[in-house]
């Protein structure tokens, strides 16, 4: 293991420059005018392990100035001292085989861990943030993928994804998805399941139930949680839905379909074979399929911010991603089908195999994975704002030679246009100089995008930084920060610099990067 600041960063990345300047609402006025913020790169910790998930989710304990980082490759949580965030150093590790997620509250570190067989019940282990001593371990559902605390620190809430092992030979080892609520005063666990929901009922409401022969409880796969005192909001990514959980009753109150995004009203690049950037309206609909979700309060209301990454399923013998050129399109819905199915048009685009079809089996709609955006929704799941095609246009403007690049190698521009584009994955919110901002990581091309969320119904772009070195080698570990996953906000009051920080776990480069917000 080594702790270093790579020297091959581009000048803009090394300086942590704001690549997207501040803008103002047309109505003007001091209150409506968002401030640009600078995301200044301070330093990074480098594990030296590339493309193995060596730096994923991060959490912070303010009294000890320690960041806890899931290192899936090593089966540990790495403990970093960031008293000097320009030189973060590893001071300890927590032994956590199967770790997927980490959270900290009141000096207590919670680590969600899947079992050796991911379809078996997982656990959440609790450690003392100062000493690293293990305090307790409790059993939760299968494949606990994310853990968080309620704001009062009295409960931990766990999204148990419950992925199947495979569907080969018609035999599915497919556990039920669920949400576990851990009472930290009594160390008791209650689990909210989905058994009362029927698959046909949910499909009729617009929830995607797509596993072959699966019940709703087995098909629903909790991905990420944000929690208030009595309510948790849980993304069901593959299902394009949101679960609202009553924490007091340990009961799923509702499952909300998230709907479809009409790409004919904005634009996206659908081809990795069109010779470059081709963002334009297309006859495609996008499933939002958010990964991370965060919440904020404005004018007495709760709003949810989602990073609409998108995700397909591939379980052994079952895969639900197909290319448009392999489909039979309805002549009524797509009169120009032959032209659309060319590689430079929609032919290469990955869409859901269960997109709607007519009685003859021809496709009448094309549902792509993810919305290539961030969204704001009410606490009941109603969409109030979406960033449209702004993320793809941002990258096209600021990094034109790296547009829709992949995170597995440099020199891969445009290679993700046919498959979810920049893939916004992680999201967090925080207050900077009295204004609320959302920060989103773009998993593929890299970098962090900031939006001013002071008016959640009309957010405005506020900044972008990318500390990936496109002149380096991803494989050799000389490409800076690649593949941002976990995005963590540290407030000015808890920061060692007395300025807000962002801590980002980059799963591909195996780096934990620290930025100061100015």
- CA-nearest of 84, 95, 111 to 3 is 84
3 state DSSP class of 394: helix
Instruction: Give 343's DSSP letter.
Output: I
DSSP characters for 498-509?
SS-EEEEEETTT
Beta bridge partners of 452: 437, 460
Residues 6+ away with beta carbon under 8 Å from 482: 407, 446, 468, 474, 506, 508, 509, 511
- Say if CB 77 and CB 94 are below 8 A apart: yes
Placement of tokens 């490409």 in the chain? 479
3 state DSSP class of 222: coil
Euclidean distance between CA atoms 65 and 346, whole angstroms: 49
CA-to-CA separations, 511 to 46, 248, 467, 471, 485, in angstroms, rounded: 5, 38, 11, 17, 11
Give the pLDDT of residue 170: 64
Q: Where are the beta strands (DSSP E) in 408-478?
A: 424-432, 435-442, 448-452, 460-465
- CA-nearest of 452, 458, 403 to 430 is 452
Cα dihedral 471, 476, 478, 479 sign: positive
- CA-nearest of 67, 50, 66, 49 to 58 is 67
Give the pLDDT of residue 35: 58
Please enumerate, as own/partner, the contacts of 334-337 that have beta carbons within 8 Å and a separation of 24 or more: 334/283, 334/363
Stretch (H or E) spanning 13: helix 11-15
DSSP characters for 150-211?
-TTSSEEEEEE----S--GGG----PPPEEEEEETTTTEEEEE--TT--HHHHHHHT----S
Q: How many Cα neighbours within 13 Å face the side chain of 494?
A: 20
Phi, psi of 343 (to 5 degrees): -60, -35
Stretch (H or E) spanning 235: strand 231-236
Placement of tokens 């979810």 in the chain? 420
Give the pLDDT of residue 8: 35
Would you state the structure tokens that stand for residue 335, as one six-digit string?
Answer: 């009169």
Give the pLDDT of residue 165: 87
- CA-nearest of 79, 221, 122, 107 to 162 is 221
Euclidean distance between CA atoms 217 and 33, whole angstroms: 46
CATH class of 11-517: mainly beta
CA-to-CA separations, 91 to 1, 83, 131, 134, in angstroms, rounded: 12, 12, 11, 17
Euclidean distance between CA atoms 56 and 39, whole angstroms: 20
Euclidean distance between CA atoms 223 and 237, whole angstroms: 6
- Say if CB 347 and CB 326 are below 8 A apart: no
CA-to-CA separations, 457 to 156, 304, 359, 378, in angstroms, rounded: 30, 11, 40, 10
Euclidean distance between CA atoms 267 and 310, whole angstroms: 17
Euclidean distance between CA atoms 64 and 109, whole angstroms: 12
CA-to-CA separations, 321 to 69, 140, 289, 372, 471, in angstroms, rounded: 32, 31, 14, 17, 32
Give the pLDDT of residue 169: 66
Tens of pLDDT along the chain (518 residues) come to 333 333 333 334 433 343 444 333 333 333 334 457 999 999 999 999 999 999 999 999 999 999 999 999 999 999 999 999 999 999 999 999 999 999 999 999 999 999 999 999 999 999 999 999 999 999 999 999 999 999 999 999 999 999 998 878 666 789 999 999 999 999 999 999 999 999 999 999 999 999 888 899 999 999 999 999 999 999 999 999 999 999 999 999 999 999 999 999 999 999 999 999 999 999 999 999 999 999 999 999 999 999 999 999 998 888 999 999 999 999 999 999 999 999 999 999 999 999 999 999 999 999 999 999 999 999 999 999 999 999 999 999 999 999 999 999 999 999 999 999 999 999 999 999 999 999 999 999 999 999 999 999 999 999 999 999 999 999 999 999 999 999 999 999 999 999 999 999 999 999 999 999 99
End-to-end CA distance of the chain: 31
3 state DSSP class of 465: strand
Would you state the structure tokens that stand for residue 17, as one six-digit string?
Answer: 């420059």
Biggest CA-to-CA distance, the chain = 67
Number of helices (H), then strands (E), belonging to the chain: the values are: 5, 35
CA-to-CA separations, 508 to 237, 409, 505, in angstroms, rounded: 21, 10, 9
Cα dihedral 296, 301, 307, 311 sign: positive
Placement of tokens 């290469």 in the chain? 348
Euclidean distance between CA atoms 47 and 2, whole angstroms: 6
3 state DSSP class of 109: strand
352-396: pLDDT as tens digits: 999 999 999 999 999 999 999 999 999 999 999 999 999 999 999
């Amino acid at each position: 293991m080594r702790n270093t600041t790579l020297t091959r960063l581009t000048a803009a990345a090394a300086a942590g420059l704001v690549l997207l300047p501040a803008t103002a609402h047309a109505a003007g006025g001091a209150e409506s005018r968002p401030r640009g913020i600078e995301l200044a790169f301070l330093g990074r910790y480098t594990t030296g392990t590339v493309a193995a998930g060596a730096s994923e989710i991060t959490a912070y304990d303010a009294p000890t100035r320690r960041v806890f980082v899931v290192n899936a490759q090593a089966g540990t949580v790495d403990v970093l001292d960031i008293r000097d965030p320009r030189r973060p150093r590893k001071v300890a590790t927590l032994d956590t085989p199967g770790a997927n997620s980490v959270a900290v509250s009141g000096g207590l570190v919670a680590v969600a861990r899947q079992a050796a067989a991911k379809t078996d019940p997982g656990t959440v282990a609790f450690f003392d943030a100062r000493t690293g001593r293990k305090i307790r371990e409790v059993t939760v559902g299968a494949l606990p993928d994310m853990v968080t605390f309620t704001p009062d620190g009295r409960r931990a809430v766990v999204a148990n994804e419950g992925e199947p092992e495979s569907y080969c030979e018609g035999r599915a080892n497919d556990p039920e998805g669920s949400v576990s609520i851990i009472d930290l005063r009594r160390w008791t666990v209650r689990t909210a399941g989905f058994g009362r929901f029927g698959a046909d009922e949910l499909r009729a409401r617009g929830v995607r139930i797509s596993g072959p022969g699966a019940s709703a409880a087995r098909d629903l796969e909790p991905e990420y949680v944000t929690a208030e005192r009595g309510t948790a909001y849980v993304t069901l990514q593959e299902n394009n839905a949101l679960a609202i959980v009553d924490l007091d009753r340990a009961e799923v109150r509702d499952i909300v379909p998230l709907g479809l995004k009409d790409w004919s009203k904005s634009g996206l690049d659908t081809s990795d074979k069109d010779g470059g950037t081709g963002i334009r309206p297309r006859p495609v609909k996008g499933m939002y399929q958010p990964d991370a979700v965060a919440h904020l309060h404005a004018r007495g209301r709760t709003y949810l911010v989602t990073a609409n990454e998108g995700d397909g399923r591939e379980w052994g013998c079952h895969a639900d991603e197909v290319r448009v050129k392999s489909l039979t399109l309805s002549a009524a819905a797509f009169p120009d089908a032959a032209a659309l199915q060319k590689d430079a048009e929609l032919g290469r685009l990955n869409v859901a195999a269960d997109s709607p079809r007519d009685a003859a089996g021809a496709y009448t709609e094309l549902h792509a994975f993810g919305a290539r955006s961030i969204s704001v929704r009410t606490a009941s799941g109603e969409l109030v704002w979406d960033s449209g095609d702004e993320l793809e246009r941002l990258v096209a403007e600021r990094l034109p030679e790296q547009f829709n690049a992949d995170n597995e190698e440099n020199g891969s521009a445009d290679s993700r246009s046919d498959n979810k584009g920049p893939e916004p994955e992680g999201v967090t919110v925080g207050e900077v100089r009295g204004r609320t901002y959302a920060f989103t990581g773009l998993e593929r091309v890299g970098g962090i995008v900031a939006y001013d969320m002071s008016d959640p119904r009309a957010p405005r772009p506020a900044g972008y930084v990318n500390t990936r070195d496109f002149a380096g080698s991803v494989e050799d570990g000389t490409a800076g920060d690649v593949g941002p996953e976990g995005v963590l906000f540290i407030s000015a009051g808890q920061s060692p610099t007395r300025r807000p920080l962002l801590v980002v776990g980059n799963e591909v480069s195996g780096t934990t990067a620290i930025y100061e917000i100015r």
